[in-house]
Amino acid sequence: MARHYREPATQRKNTGKKVGLIIGIVLFAVGLVCIGIAVWTQFFIKPDIDPPPYQAVDATVMQTETEAPAEPGSAEKARQYIAGMTTREKICQLFIATPEAITGADSVSMAGDQTKAAIEQYPVGGVIYFSDNLIDAEQVKTMIANTQSYSKTPLFIGVDEEGGTVARCAEKLGTTVFSDMYTYREQGAQTARDNARAIASDIRGFGFNLDFAPVADVWTNPENTVIAERAYSDDYNEAASLVSSAVAGFHEGGVLCSLKHFPGHGDTLEDSHNGLASVSKTADELKSGELLPFKAGIDAGADMVMIGHLTVPALDDKPATLSKVIVPSLLRGNLAYNGVTVTDSMMMGAITENYHFDEIVQGIFDADIDLILCPDNLDAYISAIEQKLSDGSITEEQLDTKLMRILTLKYNRGIM
């Protein structure tokens, strides 16, 4: 019969102690490893989060997206504000008009009782000033401050200050004078950024909060005289780099900016100031060329995109400002832009000589454009929109969509 070995009690006791000690050491080591991983994760591994598109230097003028995100803060404020607006107030917010269009005066260089009464009657979204409105620095500051104070809803105060050929303030008010960026484009992106910052800082000092710049057109047609050296370059990729840098500079200088003239005015023969201008490109050609600077500017955080009165026969026989295809397909679709759009001046021959108010208003709503710049007859535009709302040709929902974009931008950039 086999005999079974049994450990003595003392030996069994010592073995248990050894096992317990080993388990304790293992658990202690595991704990140290966990603590080490936690410390490493906390202090040495950065989360994969994209930074905001841009940050403004002066938060009192333009709040950064970190400080005032579009959702939910600004959008919710806009939604609440819209809920308290009358239909006429909503309609008027769609316009950035000249002071002459609002007051009915021939030439405006001051803002007093007549301007106050006009703003109450036509509570527009913004005012644009041209050279004839500008006399000297103090006059402009007072005129803008008074106009802004008369408006229940804070205004976009705009000007065309591209630097170079188109520079209202440099021409009349003695601000920094620049040549067209095209003439020294080889100086690169930093120069484009520095110049835009200087332009913005100068005009902001008078009370402007919106510059209709930079030009995102590419001067690829030497016979084009309307854009010419106003363009940043004749090369698509170089233009994209310079335009995106300029957007950053305008923001650093404290003003909103608008890319222009979508889908690209640099390869046209005609001048849309005088009549219809045509872009002889297919959608694919535009995407690989003209649209590159617009995409770069949008990615850099441009606040608006100005739509040119440009026809693209390959897509539509109507100009982009009235087309159901061009902005919805190329800008909203291909470039995924859901920000504010603005027409080029509605006093230009491409529109006034070819379309009636009813067609224009319907076209702007069909084209999904938000702001109407420089209406030649403000009363007629307002009446046409009211009539189309009444007969159902356009809807309150379409109107509110435009208002949401416009007022969210105003809130998000500290204008409201």
User: 156: which 2 tokens?
Assistant: 């976009």
Continuous segment of H or E residues that includes residue 304:
strand 304-307
Distance of alpha carbon 99 from alpha carbon 102, whole angstroms: 5
User: 135: which 2 tokens?
Assistant: 């006399």
**280-294 b/e (C-beta count within 10 Å ≥ 16 → b):** ebebeebbebbbbbb
Of 339, 293, 341, nearest in space to 321 by CA: 341
Beta-carbon count within 10 A of 189 CB: 17
Cβ neighbourhood burial of 392 (10 Å; 0-12, 13-18, 19+):
exposed
Distance of alpha carbon 241 from alpha carbon 191, whole angstroms: 11
The string of DSSP letters for 222-237 reads: TT--SSGGGSS-SSHH
Query: Strand, helix or coil at 332?
Result: helix
HSE-up (13 A, CA, CB side) for residue 86: 10
Cα separations in angstroms, 28 against 22, 38, 383: 10, 16, 80
| Catalytic site positions | 344
- 240 near 188, Cβ under 8 Å? no
Query: Strand, helix or coil at 355?
Result: coil
Cα separations in angstroms, 369 against 247, 399, 409: 21, 11, 15
**Under 8 Å CB-to-CB from 344, ≥6 apart: which residues?**
260, 261, 272, 306, 307, 308, 309, 321, 373
Distance of alpha carbon 213 from alpha carbon 197, whole angstroms: 12
Cα separations in angstroms, 171 against 133, 135, 395: 12, 10, 43
Place of tokens 């303030």: 169
User: 181: which 2 tokens?
Assistant: 């960026």
